[in-house]
Structure 1
Amino acid sequence: MTNYARMYRWGITPWEGYGRAAAGSIATLLDQEEVERSRPLGRALDVGCGRGQYTPELARRGWEATGIDYVPAAIEAARSKDVDGVTYVVADATNLGGAGLGTFDFFFDVGCFQGFDANQRQAVGRGITAIANPGATLLMLAFGPTWFRALAGGVSQDEVRAAFPGWTLLAVDPAPTGGLGWPMNRTSPRWYRLRRS
């Protein structure tokens, strides 16, 4: 797994640059997610939220938003933004069932799942499933299994399916690579949308 604590310490946070560059396409995906829902939207979990780049946007859109990350400094930075309607928790994505978070209707993951090995991905899948309400959806950005996988992470569609048995894969769409920089812009990123059966 990527050592995110070290990357934050060194100021190497390419995922934050990507979030700014891809803001329009991410907004479109969140718009599509909300079209199928009635208000209130329900509870959303930003998995691997880092310093809270997306969690406030989920709250602004009407979700009861919680962001989790295992790096305490990232959560501290997210909390310092003091955004109403947002909760941040230091938690491990591979042990969500034991984090006491309650249940959720929507899960948002921008690059967290892809950094885990096979056993950890299974644990993430079990944890999300354990706290997912019936009909919950997961929107996840992940790099593909390119030869950069050892450096930047990545998963195949089959690996995503294997981690989420009991979920229906609704869509797999290419993600824009603008703002990623090399070598991430060579990793064939995909947006996965799944629904708990």
Structure 2
Amino acid sequence: MYRLGLTPWERYGAAGGAQLGTLLDREAKERPTAPGRALDIGCGRGQFTPELARRGWEAVGVDIVPRAIEAARRQGPAEITYVLGDATDLEPAGLGTFDLFLDIGCLQGLDTGQRAAEGRGVTALAAPGATLLILAFGPSRYQRLVEGVSRAQIEAAFPGWEVLSVEDAVTDGLGWPMNQTSPQWYRFRRTAG
């Protein structure tokens, strides 16, 4: 899609970024310690990763598309680390542990096995009490055009994580048919064990 210049998800930036900022502010307020390390899974060209850094997180973005990672590195800022890697194979990337994980639209494009693999990788890299924020489109009659995932499918990918909240995502800036998919923000906390 990057080669073809077809990146409709990037149009969602302004509206999605504002809501993400609110969620990150809440996360910082509710944490017993200052923001730590955060991993933006499927970061693309780094559209949302700087939002983490602006709020005090040591931000790392990971994506499987070399062209996207190169663009993210060029755009900066320099304090953000961008890594070429696979969301379904995070452990071998040597990324370390994280207090916060962010997945905006990556998980929804994966099949059942790939979602489980992302879940295993996130769990392996999670610091105690880590938080996971996922923005995903829901299943819809437009499934062939816009990938979506149900709450049950998301929860199945992250055993050992507790759902803290599920909130409607804003749809401003989403064109048709993406605005017909009932996007949701899911907030999880890593449980002990």
Q: Aligned-pair RMSD on alpha carbons?
A: 1.1
Q: Which structure 2 residue ranges, 5 or more long, are not aligned?
A: none
Q: Which structure 1 residue ranges, 5 or more long, are not aligned?
A: 1-6
Separation (CA, whole Å) in 2 of partners of 1:91 and 1:152: 24
1:151, distance to aligned residue in structure 2 (A): 2.2
Match of 1:64 among 54, 58, 63: 58
Match of 1:81 among 75, 82, 105: 75
In the superposition, the TM-score normalised over structure 2's length comes to 0.95
1:98, distance to aligned residue in structure 2 (A): 1.4
Residue 122 (structure 2) pairs with residue 137 (structure 1): no
Match of 1:125 among 119, 122, 129: 119
Q: Which has the larger displacement, 22-31 or 181-190?
A: 22-31
Greater share of helix: 1
Match of 1:113 among 83, 107, 110: 107
1:11, distance to aligned residue in structure 2 (A): 1.5
Aligned-residue identity in percent: 63
1:38, distance to aligned residue in structure 2 (A): 4.5
- Please tell me whether the aligned partners of residues 15 and 170 of structure 2 are also in contact (alpha carbons under 8 angstroms): no
Q: Which runs of 4+ in 1 moved over 4 A?
A: none
Task: Name the SS of the counterpart of 2:50 in structure 1.
Answer: helix
Q: Which has the larger displacement, 15-24 or 102-111?
A: 15-24
Letter in 2 for 1:121: R
Match of 2:28 among 16, 34, 38: 34
Separation (CA, whole Å) in 1 of partners of 2:188 and 2:37: 16
Residue 162 (structure 2) pairs with residue 168 (structure 1): yes
Residue 178 (structure 2) pairs with residue 187 (structure 1): no
With over 3 angstroms needed to count, the CA separation of the structure-2 counterparts of 1:72 and 1:95, relative to structure 1, is: same
Count of matched residue positions in the alignment of Structure 1 and Structure 2: 191
Instruction: Encode CA deviations 1:134-159: one digit per residue, 9 max, x unaligned.
Output: 10000110010112223211111111
Letter in 2 for 1:86: I
Instruction: Encode CA deviations 1:29-87: one digit per residue, 9 max, x unaligned.
Output: 11111111245311000000000111112112110000000000000000012313200
Instruction: Encode CA deviations 1:82-141: one digit per residue, 9 max, x unaligned.
Output: 313200000000001111111100001110000000010000100100100110000110
- Please tell me whether the aligned partners of residues 88 and 114 of structure 2 are also in contact (alpha carbons under 8 angstroms): yes
Separation (CA, whole Å) in 1 of partners of 2:124 and 2:33: 24
Instruction: Encode CA deviations 1:146-179: one digit per residue, 9 max, x unaligned.
Output: 1222321111111111110000011111111111
Q: Which has the larger displacement, 82-91 or 162-171?
A: 82-91
1:4 matched to which residue of 2?
Answer: none
1:9 matched to which residue of 2?
Answer: 3
Residue 64 (structure 2) pairs with residue 90 (structure 1): no
Residue 106 (structure 2) pairs with residue 151 (structure 1): no
